[in-house]
Amino acid sequence: MRTVVGLPGTSDSRYVESLKAAGADEFFLGFVPAEWHRAYGFEVSPNRRYRRSQQVTDVGRLRELCEAAAPCPVAVTFNEHVLSRSAWRATGGFPSVGGPGPAYRVLEDSLRSGVTGAIVAGPGVAALVHREFPDLALHMSGDGGVYNAAACRFLAELGVGRVIFPRELPYPDLAASIAGASDSMREFEAFVMGEPCVYDGARCFTEHGYAFPCDFCNHHSVRHVAERGREGMRPLPSVGPGEALEAGEGNALRLGRCGLCAMPALAEAGISHLKIPGRASIALPALRLVKRMLEAMEAAASADARELGLEPGSPLADDPLERVARRLLAAPRLCSEGRFCYFPKQERT
């Protein structure tokens, strides 16, 4: 399995080199050129990120990052849902819709700068991009909400070569989607680290958007934060009464949701790429954990539990890779409770 890491707008060539040295195989980023943000601001973004720091804003910097990444592929994120509706005309659209406006030139400049792929979030955008930019590899974003094999097969007919599964898709559905679509598509990507809530993405954007804090968010994710009150620091209502962090859990929570122990099952299901959201500070430490887990998986075929550093007779001796994953994350309570798992063990057995 290959690793795919996001680049924030503050990235430079040295940061890209550090990620490559840590084992990154592919990159993705957001590109909002001056022509776009001067006309529409960052609030109307082509990629569902609305802060300047999350975007590459200069075509020269984009070219620099692509050159530093080579020969690793670089995809530009072009997955704002509104782009598949009226915004094509509002922003100039593609030639067939109203002349080559800023939306078209985002992809045109990306391709000229060395970008090799585009991440889109809807079939309409996928069809347009594939027609106008056939040299760009097309990936369907997790925000596109692909939940079954029929959707994968339909997107393949539009030129999509890879599906990024939504964070909230259960493992059995993910495996069934791949099994039912592997004859028409060869690349499937799953989130393996990052973001505190599995619903961040397709379901978040379409159901409750940016109404946080809201009951939906508080119900589905546990936020280990506190506020200062009259009686000193106390947990917010979304945290269990009297709950406190144990040693090592702070670092684990900073990494967001975790799928380390599920990686062998993901490989068995047919996942080809592991996604690490990188428009934040967690990319490098998360990537190192994922690469160490991949190394353990490679060693497991010829190594026994002792060679993997496990004690003989361990309760997990029959599944040493799970023990390796737990040791890497170093947050045993979180692992046991399963609250921060992308793919909980009970779903995979």
- Beta-bridged to residue 3, according to DSSP, are 274
Q: Is the pLDDT of residue 275 over 90?
A: yes
**Least confidently predicted of 55-69, 235-249, 274-288, 315-329:** 235-249
Q: Three-state SS for 229?
A: strand
Average pLDDT over residues 310-324: 63
Q: Which residue has the tokens 């990235």?
A: 11
Q: How far is CA 218 from CA 174, 209, 221, in A?
A: 25, 14, 6
Average pLDDT over residues 89-106: 59
Q: What does the alpha-carbon distance between residue 14 and residue 23 come to, in Å, rounded to a whole number?
A: 14
pLDDT of residue 238: 41
**Inter-axis angle of helices 123-132 and 102-113, nearest 10:** 60
Q: What does the alpha-carbon distance between residue 23 and residue 19 come to, in Å, rounded to a whole number?
A: 6
Q: Is the pLDDT of residue 90 over 80?
A: no
Q: Is the pLDDT of residue 278 over 80?
A: no
Q: What does the alpha-carbon distance between residue 69 and residue 125 come to, in Å, rounded to a whole number?
A: 26
Q: What does the alpha-carbon distance between residue 191 and residue 259 come to, in Å, rounded to a whole number?
A: 8
Of 50, 166, 44, the C-alpha closest to 102 is 44
Average pLDDT over residues 51-56: 83
Torsion of CA 143, 342, 281, 116, to 10 degrees: -50
Q: Is the pLDDT of residue 227 over 50?
A: no
Cα-trace Rg, the chain? 21
Average pLDDT over residues 174-187: 95
Q: Is the pLDDT of residue 168 over 90?
A: no
pLDDT of residue 311: 52
Q: What number of H helices and E strands is found in the chain?
A: 17, 10
The first and second tokens of residue 1, run together, are 């399995």
CA atoms within 13 A on the CB side of 336: 5
- DSSP codes of every residue in 29-85: E-B--HHHHHHHTTTS-TTS---GGGSB--HHHHHHHHHHHTTS-EEEE---GGGGT
Q: How far is CA 196 from CA 78, 242, 265, 277, 341, in A?
A: 23, 21, 22, 12, 10
In percent, the amount of the chain with pLDDT more than 90 equals 37
Q: Three-state SS for 16?
A: helix
**Least confidently predicted of 116-120, 137-141, 177-181, 315-319:** 315-319
Phi, psi of 314 (to 5 degrees): -60, 145
Residue 217 identity: C
